[in-house]
Structure 1
Amino acid sequence: MRESLSLLLVEDDHSLNEELGIFLSDFFDTIDSFYTAEEAYVKYLTTSYDLIITDIQLPNQNGLALVEKIKKKNPSQMVIVISAYKEVDYFLKSIDLGIYSFLTKPFDSQLLINTMIKVTNQLQHTKVKSDTTTVLLHEGVSFDLKTKSLHVKDVQQELTAKEELLLFILVKNVNAFVRNEQLAQEIWQSDEVNNSTLRALVKRVRDKLGYDDCITNLKNRGYKLTAHLS
């Protein structure tokens, strides 16, 4: 049975907001649309959403500022950012905030469809597994969030305390980048951790996961655990 999905859409162009609402209604059961970041955030404070899609250029408040506030409140919130601009700094800032995807206008219709299929499949998968603590990462590879145990081909892997914690954080944010600073704070309770120390920890966990591109990083800005599911 298909789980219902909800979306918060923030786009100040009224006609595009309406067009996106119609298009996205094929993927989401509930869509709340707003034209400003301020209105959207007020609604977000009282409502849970499976996905947020926001433009960057909004009146009064930048869309990335909205995402930053939302991520502080709910770090695991899935977000897609859209923009008419392709500046690298916007893209990198989005990565820093751990967004799911960055789309530029005008939209490539097939890319937009493919992105929505991918994200809604992942959201459905997340909802289905919400009653269990075990997350399937790859064929034969799973992680239990409750016990912080990693199983590869039905064999439990030996993990150090820091390896357990790193995996726990990355699995909770699966398919999204987690900033180095957040990892350092949560694993070592410090903002000053040598990058080589973090890289060494990540390498050990990569080796234990054992599948290609399981953990990737972007210019030392953060790490992402990728679930390779069919």
Structure 2
Amino acid sequence: MIDYIYLEKYCKNLKVLYVEDDKYSAKKVKELLDEIFPNVVLAKNGDEALKLFLDYKRDTDCFYDLVITDIKMPKLDGISLSKKILEQNKKQEIIIISAHSETNYFLELINLGISNFILKPIDYNDFINMVYKITKSIYESKNINSTKPTSIKLGEDLYWDLQFKVLVNNHKEVKLTKKEFLLINLLLSVKNKTFSNEEILNKIWLDNETTSNVTNLKNTISRLRKKVISLNIENIYGFGYKITQD
């Protein structure tokens, strides 16, 4: 099952080059890609795509994270384009979109090291599953040497996503009020620290708010506990609150 919160996370900073000569197909798939990725560049043939690919490398000293291309195109077909791209970047992730009549080209592409194929008409679920698998791999390879945690585990199937600042319970984002968000973010900002009532009130309620009192803090915590039963906010009697982290 796809975790759509993680799909958004994996795709957030990726740059995609999409190549398709058919205007109708290009419009439909581009709309789908724009829902997933923040940066999608469209090329109408292989020759234009190769120029965009090389220009991007020259200007940024980086490669596109993902190339998605049709097989049959004018000027430079998808197989020739893939060969030239792989000459520049042997590790380039490429998805081939193909009509059923073009599957005889797959062996040649597999020999190039390409194994990601989507048949037309595109099945949305198959496509999303493939994108999830590839972008997860890209994300993990980029962060393999990073020691910075991406989330804080708070219980079984409960965690705080540090990048997106969201509470996730059973693979679903928990909708928080502004005060609930500020409270959790504060309590998790220093590992295993107990924050005094005064600290919490000063951070969460502004000076001009008249509701900055312990009763309102208790009410906020009570609502949170009901909303997420497994969230363990400890009350250090007479002092303040903490969330214990592993």
TM-score when normalising by structure 2: 0.50
Alignment match, 2:119 = 104
Superposed displacement of residue 13, structure 1: 1.0
Equivalent residue for 2:89, pick from 30, 52, 74: 74
Equivalent residue for 2:98, pick from 83, 94, 98: 83
Alignment match, 1:25 = 34
Q: Unaligned regions of 5+ residues in structure 1, if any?
A: 133-230
Could you tell me how far apart the structure 2 residues matched to 1:19 and 1:88 are? Answer: 22
Pairwise CA RMSD of aligned residues?
A: 1.9
Q: Which amino acid aligns with 1:122?
A: S
Q: Which amino acid aligns with 1:123?
A: I
Could you tell me how far apart the structure 2 residues matched to 1:34 and 1:88 are? Answer: 22
Deviation readout 1:18-51 (Å, 9 max, x if unpaired): 2111111232221110111011101101212100
Number of equivalenced pairs: 132
Equivalent residue for 2:65, pick from 50, 62, 83: 50
Could you tell me how far apart the structure 2 residues matched to 1:104 and 1:38 are? Answer: 23
Greater CA radius of gyration, 1 or 2? 2
Alignment match, 2:234 = none
Could you tell me how far apart the structure 2 residues matched to 1:52 and 1:11 are? Answer: 11
Superposed displacement of residue 87, structure 1: 4.5
Q: Which amino acid aligns with 1:8?
A: L
Distance 1:46-1:131 versus aligned 2 partners, 3 A rule: farther
Superposed displacement of residue 63, structure 1: 0.8
Could you tell me how far apart the structure 2 residues matched to 1:104 and 1:110 are? Answer: 12
Q: Which amino acid aligns with 1:5?
A: L
Alignment match, 1:15 = 24
Deviation readout 1:169-202 (Å, 9 max, x if unpaired): xxxxxxxxxxxxxxxxxxxxxxxxxxxxxxxxxx
Superposed displacement of residue 130, structure 1: 5.6
Superposed displacement of residue 60, structure 1: 2.2
Deviation readout 1:82-130 (Å, 9 max, x if unpaired): 1113445311011011114011111122111211121122222122226
Distance 1:77-1:40 versus aligned 2 partners, 3 A rule: same
Could you tell me how far apart the structure 2 residues matched to 1:107 and 1:6 are? Answer: 21
Could you tell me how far apart the structure 1 residues matched to 2:141 and 2:101 are? Answer: 31
Superposed displacement of residue 6, structure 1: 0.9
Deviation readout 1:111-152 (Å, 9 max, x if unpaired): 1121112112222212222658xxxxxxxxxxxxxxxxxxxx
Distance 1:129-1:75 versus aligned 2 partners, 3 A rule: same
1:128 equivalenced with 2:143 (yes/no): yes
TM-score when normalising by structure 1: 0.53
